[in-house]
């Protein structure tokens, strides 16, 4: 896999600077969706690509995990000192190469796929890292969400402009489904639904047990 242009350029994790109210609200909604998908499962080994400076999603489910691996360009001291946390301050491609051979029960790619030039390569690598009964959770902005995100960032200044400028793609179900299938996931194992007022698409994908 080649290092994407976005990985070469972006060296700051989301949340390094103070988050706006809209950003915090969006994170809260994502965390609710994650908790719903995790349910009562416990003793999980969890990986999140693009976990953000404070790894809010991972820490939301810390009581259900034995290990939390967070990948981003830079992580807070508090996160790195967490007893369950394994920090990997590398671009996604390099981090996945370092993790080769390990296995996880849960992998999360929350509001990250839209930044990638090579989503299929990343998803294929994630599939190889999942345990036979593992689950991949993906959250992406929709084409409707594009309108609101860009208006918030470019016109109102309520979201980081550089985040929107770094978006490579927006997704509806007809866009995300073929990307997941090309990555090796079976259609029967893919469940997708719209949330955040149809501004985001959430996918829960099981790995086949073969």
* Closest to 108 (Cα-Cα) out of 2, 10, 204: 204
Q: 5-206: CATH homologous superfamily? A: Vaccinia Virus protein VP39 (3.40.50.150)
pLDDT at 174 over 60: yes
Residue 105's SS3 state is strand
Out of 15-19, 29-33, 36-40, 191-195, least confident range: 15-19
Grade residue 206 by pLDDT with cuts at 50, 70 and 90.
very high
CA 128 to chain centre: 16
Which residue in 118, 124, 103, 87 sits closest to 3, CA to CA?
A: 118
Band (pLDDT 50/70/90 cuts) for residue 157 is confident
Q: Please give the average per-residue pLDDT across 96-121, as a whole number.
A: 96
pLDDT at residue 18 tops 80: no
Percentage, residues of the chain above pLDDT 70: 88
Inform me whether the pLDDT recorded for 11 exceeds 70. no
In tens, the pLDDT along 80-94 reads 999 999 999 999 999
DSSP 53-74: TT-HHHHHTGGGEEEEEEESS-
Residue 44 has a pLDDT of: 96
């Amino acid at each position: 896999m080649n290092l994407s242009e976005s990985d070469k350029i972006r060296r700051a994790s989301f949340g390094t600077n103070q988050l706006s109210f809209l950003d915090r609200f969006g994170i809260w909604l994502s965390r609710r969706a994650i908790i719903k998908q995790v349910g009562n499962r416990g003793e999980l080994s969890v990986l999140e690509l693009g976990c953000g400076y404070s790894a809010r999603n991972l820490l939301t489910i810390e009581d259900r995990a034995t290990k939390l691996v967070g990948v981003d360009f830079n992580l807070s001291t508090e996160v790195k000192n967490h007893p369950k946390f394994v920090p990997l301050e590398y671009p996604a491609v390099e981090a996945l190469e370092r993790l080769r051979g390990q296995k996880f029960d849960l992998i999360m790619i929350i509001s990250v796929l839209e930044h990638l030039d090579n989503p299929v390569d990343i998803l294929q690598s994630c599939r190889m890292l999942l345990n036979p009964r593992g689950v991949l959770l993906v959250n992406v902005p929709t084409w409707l969400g594009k309108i609101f995100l860009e208006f918030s960032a470019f016109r109102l200044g309520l979201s980081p402009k550089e985040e929107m400028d770094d978006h490579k793609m927006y997704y509806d179900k007809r866009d995300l489904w073929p990307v997941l299938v090309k990555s090796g996931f079976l259609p029967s194992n893919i469940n997708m639904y719209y949330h955040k007022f149809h501004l985001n698409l959430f996918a829960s994908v099981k790995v086949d047990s073969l």
